[in-house]
Amino acid sequence: MTFIGEVIFLVYICFLLIAGAFIKAYASTKEQYYTKVLYFVTFGFLVGLSLILCNQIGCDVYEDNLFGLYIASYQTQLLKIFILGSSLFVLVSSVDFLKKEALFSIDYLILVLFSLFGMFVLVSANDLLVLYMGLELQGLCFYVLASYNVGSLQSTEAGLKYFFIGSFASILILFGIILQYYNCGTTSYNGFYVMDVLANNLNILSILFIMIGFFFKLALAPFHVWIADVYEGASTAVTAFFCNCA
């Protein structure tokens, strides 16, 4: 099973959710200590997960999973390793800042890991709906992270702006997917045919909606004006994570 990394990742996130709930309920006086321990454990886990993915690269496999909705190959595993490595660097470098700003919490770590899991789904998706679910999982975490500093009015404003723009972009992408399904009868990547794109107006329209939605999501010109307000209002650690993911 080549997507064993995703299964392990999801199980570990569920473990953090349960551990965080117990820490807040029964060890509130030592919450900072246990949070610090979980951060270090998570750093080690991400390194171990990277090694698992490295081992899969060595196997040189390509496999369709979940009825062709999800694929795993050495290219996808390599991208996941890069995502983990760069995100780990950002997490480690942000610890001191989070402590200084009183934002050092298990909630931040869980949101970051869920967004990373969404990126994993994006990388290995072989279907537009799977791609959309991964994109929304990542986006929902980003909205909360942008407004994570609840004591800052700018952070709250950044989160709201990100949420409204992201929701609008998600609608465009979903509408494009609907048009693609109506035209081709499938949401699989294999439904895009180069010859049909030029011959069918619905294909052109669906690709146009999906591309505009992604341009909004990625803050690419000419749909990039809103991103400056989000980066300015969000905490420095969150902004660094956003830039890393972009």
> To the nearest whole percent, how much of the chain has pLDDT over 90?
38
Q: pLDDT at position 198, please?
A: 58
Helix (H) or strand (E) holding 140: helix 128-146
In the chain, % of residues over pLDDT 70:
92
Could you give the C-alpha distances from 122 to 49, 155, 190, 220, in angstroms and in order?
A: 18, 27, 16, 18
Q: Do residues 241 and 87 touch, judged by C-beta distance below 8 A? A: yes
CB under 8 Å to 225, separation ≥6 — which residues? none
pLDDT-derived band at 171 (thresholds 50, 70, 90) equals: very high
At residue 44, the pLDDT reads 94
Q: Has residue 243 got a pLDDT over 80?
A: yes
Do 71 and 188 contact (CB within 8 A), yes or no? no
Position 120 scores a pLDDT of 93
Weakest-pLDDT range from 55-59, 143-147, 194-198:
194-198
The whole-number average pLDDT for the span 64-78 is: 78
Say how far apart CA 64 and CA 13 lie, in whole Å.
25
| Helix-, strand-, coil-residue percentages of the chain, each rounded to 5 | 80, 5, 15
pLDDT at residue 108, as a whole number: 92
pLDDT at 225: 84
pTM of the entire predicted model: 0.91
At residue 135, does pLDDT exceed 70?
yes
At residue 138, the pLDDT reads: 92
Q: What is the mean predicted confidence (pLDDT) over 148-172?
A: 90
Q: Would you state the structure tokens that stand for residue 132, as one six-digit string? A: 């959309």
Contacts of residue 222, Cβ cutoff 8 Å, sequence gap at least 6: 215
Average pLDDT, the chain: 86
What residue ranges do the domains of the chain occupy?
A: 1-126, 128-246
State pLDDT tens for residues 184-234.
Answer: 788 887 766 554 555 677 778 888 999 999 999 888 888 888 888 888 888
Q: Which residues contact 55 (CB under 8 A, 6 or more apart)?
A: none
Do 147 and 160 meet the contact criterion of CB atoms below 8 Å apart?
Answer: yes
